Amino acid sequence: MALYTMKFGGTSVGSPEAIDQALTIIQRETQAGHRVVGIVSAMSGVTDSLLKTVKAAIQGDRWTFQEVNRDIRHRHEEATHRLIEPPPEREITLKKINDLLDEHLQLCEAITILGEATPRMIDAIVSFGERLSRRVVAAALDARGIPSQAFDGTQLIVTDNNYQDAEPLWEITSKQIKERLVPAIENGISPIITGFIGATPDGTITTLGRGGSDFSAAIIAAYIDSDELTIWTDVDGVMTTDPRIDKRAKVLPYVSYTEVGELAFYGAKVLHPKTVQPIIARNIPMRVRNTFNPEHPGTQIGADIVATSSVIKAVTSIRSISMLTVSGKGMLGVPGIAGRTFLATSRAGANILMISQSSSEQSFCFTVRDADANEVKYAVEDELRAEINHQDVDGVDILKEVVIVTVVGGGMRGTPGVAGRVFTTLGDHSINVISIAQGGSECSISFVIEEDALDEAVICLHDLALASVEDIN
Ligand code: ASP
Ligand code: MG
């Protein structure tokens, strides 16, 4: 008897038909004698819609937030009518849905009166998506005769108060999961849990960042000591590249935790970047699979790195990036300038995606999202004001609308010539490389190029990744 943790993403619970499909997947395992813990996202599009209600509420646009609220109500009611029998159970679920959505309206009303929304209020509003979906899914599972109990992540995942991107407090989260969730599993119940949300120790709702349900599932899988974590989504697995850029993209049968972590960080949308953290130490096998094509084995993710002849397994890219360069003759050997720059960047609320410094130490560059670039420039110039006044530092230059392309392959460590092959390939296609960085894990190489060259760069490097798929099979 195995214990499986299964996370169902937004599209996997996005319609009555999808939920039905997800339930069949759970049922297949429970009928085979296994135990299943389900983590669910909000129905597809609902998180975005809820964010829209925040905006509308701030602007006093009652018509819009009421309209969106009606839409969300309708979708959940429809799913409840289609999936939940008998009528008394259906009525209970409908009542819960309506209570939650009434509460949503009240919060929007409060935001309208205040004319602003704090990150804490935004988290409270977006939490409704998962709190609604898990009620429908749990009751529908029960209706199929599989005893289920619904849990809110707020009861299990305890976090700091960094709203919209909260970090779990591991020890007490582990304690809550062991005390509250494990007994239910031992009693033969299939819990259905909200992804994405947690709560501070004093009970205020937080979220783990967009796409955070994967992370929730990994945390739970780790602390219940699951035999496998399956991320059920709407694609067959982790792809060699974005099929919208290159139609030849293939599903990788296997990737390592480090490789998939790198892929998630550098733009492949399959997984939340933090997902592998909790399960890596426990060596829990993970799989990405397609709810709508459950016969496909998906991508297996594990600790070992499989060597392939071309080493490179996947190519990803991130658009709308700015590269900032800090330069100056007086920087040579002056410690602390880079450190202060990165601190100022994080104070400005921006995430650094890639850093590179030349050995002359007269400049270094780093990349952030276009949307953050100006603010970061001002923050860094402010921090380095004294050095700029002394002309030790010239200032901060911005190069906008560039892209980062990353090639990922765990076998890079100790394999000479991989970088050579990558940059020769780019050179053969006359693609100009603006800046280069290799991840410390030696599992990826990233570089910055002009946006115009993106497709060609990805396609020519993807040849190397495609060759790897043959080797893994
Ligand atoms: N519903 C949340 C989002 O759309 C979390 C998730 O689905 O993982 O970001
Ligand atoms: Mg997702």
- Residues 362-402 have pLDDT tens digits of 899 999 999 999 999 999 999 999 999 999 999 999 999 99
- Find out whether 297 and 289 touch, Cβ atoms under 8 Å: yes
Beta bridge partner(s), residue 39: 7, 193
Q: How many helical (H) and strand (E) elements, i.e. helices and strands, does the chain have?
A: 16, 16
Share of the chain above pLDDT 70, in %: 100
- Find out whether 61 and 54 touch, Cβ atoms under 8 Å: no
| Integer CA distances (angstroms), 1 to 4, 116, 148, 392, in order | 10, 51, 18, 66
Q: List CB contacts of 241: < 8 A, sequence separation 6 or more.
A: 249, 314, 315, 316, 458, 462, 465
pLDDT, mean of residues 409-427: 88
Ordered by start, the domain boundaries in the chain are 3-234, 314-472
Q: What is the pLDDT of residues 238-291, one digit of tens each?
A: 999 999 999 999 999 999 998 998 898 887 878 898 999 999 889 999 999 999
Contact 10 CB / ligand 1 (< 6 Å):
yes
What is the number of the ligand 1 atom nearest to the C-alpha of 216?
8
pLDDT of residue 357: 82
Of the candidates 291, 276, 361, which has an alpha carbon nearest to the alpha carbon of residue 326? 361
pLDDT, mean of residues 87-111: 97
What is the number of the ligand 1 atom nearest to the C-alpha of 10?
7
pLDDT band (50, 70, 90) for residue 329:
confident
- Candidate from 205, 210, 216 with most ligand 1 atoms within 8 A of CB, to mutate: 210
The tokens for 472 are 């893994």
Minimum mean pLDDT among 12-16, 112-116, 267-271: which range? 267-271
Contact 210 CB / ligand 1 (< 6 Å):
yes
- Find out whether 404 and 450 touch, Cβ atoms under 8 Å: no
Contact 38 CB / ligand 1 (< 6 Å):
no
Task: Name the residue at shortest CA distance from atom 5 of ligand 1.
Answer: 211
Contact 49 CB / ligand 1 (< 6 Å):
no
pLDDT of residue 236: 94
Q: What is the pLDDT of residues 125-167, one digit of tens each?
A: 999 999 999 999 999 999 999 999 999 999 999 999 999 999 9
| Integer CA distances (angstroms), 62 to 119, 124, 126, 237, in order | 20, 18, 17, 41
- Candidate from 196, 205, 274 with most ligand 1 atoms within 8 A of CB, to mutate: 196
Task: Name the residue at shortest CA distance from atom 6 of ligand 1.
Answer: 211
Contact 39 CB / ligand 1 (< 6 Å):
no
User: What does the mean pLDDT of the chain come to?
Assistant: 94
Please tell me the number of the ligand nearest to residue 218's CA. Answer: 1
**How far does residue 149's CA lie from ligand 2's centre (Å)?**
23
pLDDT band (50, 70, 90) for residue 414:
confident
Q: What is the pLDDT of residues 286-326, one digit of tens each?
A: 999 999 999 999 999 999 988 888 789 999 999 999 999 99
Contact 212 CB / ligand 1 (< 6 Å):
yes
pLDDT of residue 442: 80
E strand or H helix that includes residue 289: strand 286-290
- Find out whether 292 and 311 touch, Cβ atoms under 8 Å: no
**How far does residue 210's CA lie from ligand 1's centre (Å)?**
5
**How far does residue 211's CA lie from ligand 1's centre (Å)?**
4
**How far does residue 397's CA lie from ligand 2's centre (Å)?**
35
The tokens for 69 are 């609220």
**How far does residue 231's CA lie from ligand 2's centre (Å)?**
9
Contact 411 CB / ligand 1 (< 6 Å):
no
Please tell me the number of the ligand nearest to residue 126's CA. Answer: 1
* Distance between CA atoms of residues 262 and 362, nearest Å: 29
- Find out whether 312 and 418 touch, Cβ atoms under 8 Å: yes
Minimum mean pLDDT among 195-204, 249-258, 311-320, 334-343: which range? 334-343
Residue whose structure tokens are 């906008």:
400
Q: List CB contacts of 431: < 8 A, sequence separation 6 or more.
A: 449, 453, 456, 457, 460
* Architecture of the CATH domain 3-234: 3-Layer(aba) Sandwich (3.40)
pLDDT of residue 331: 83
Phi, psi of 421 (to 5 degrees): -65, -40
pLDDT of residue 264: 85
Please tell me the number of the ligand nearest to residue 232's CA. Answer: 2
pLDDT, mean of residues 23-30: 97
Q: What is the pLDDT of residues 32-86, one digit of tens each?
A: 999 999 999 999 999 999 999 999 999 999 999 999 999 999 999 999 999 998 8
Helices (H), 323-453: 337-347, 370-383, 385-389, 418-428
pLDDT band (50, 70, 90) for residue 417:
confident
**How far does residue 56's CA lie from ligand 2's centre (Å)?**
25
What is the number of the ligand 1 atom nearest to the C-alpha of 130?
1
**How far does residue 437's CA lie from ligand 1's centre (Å)?**
30
Contact 14 CB / ligand 1 (< 6 Å):
no
**How far does residue 272's CA lie from ligand 2's centre (Å)?**
7
Please tell me the number of the ligand nearest to residue 231's CA. Answer: 2
The tokens for 288 are 């990405």
**How far does residue 68's CA lie from ligand 2's centre (Å)?**
21
**How far does residue 21's CA lie from ligand 2's centre (Å)?**
18
CATH number for the domain whose boundaries are 314-472: 3.30.2130.10
Residue 252 DSSP label: -
Beta strand ranges found along 345-434 (DSSP E): 354-357, 363-369, 395-408
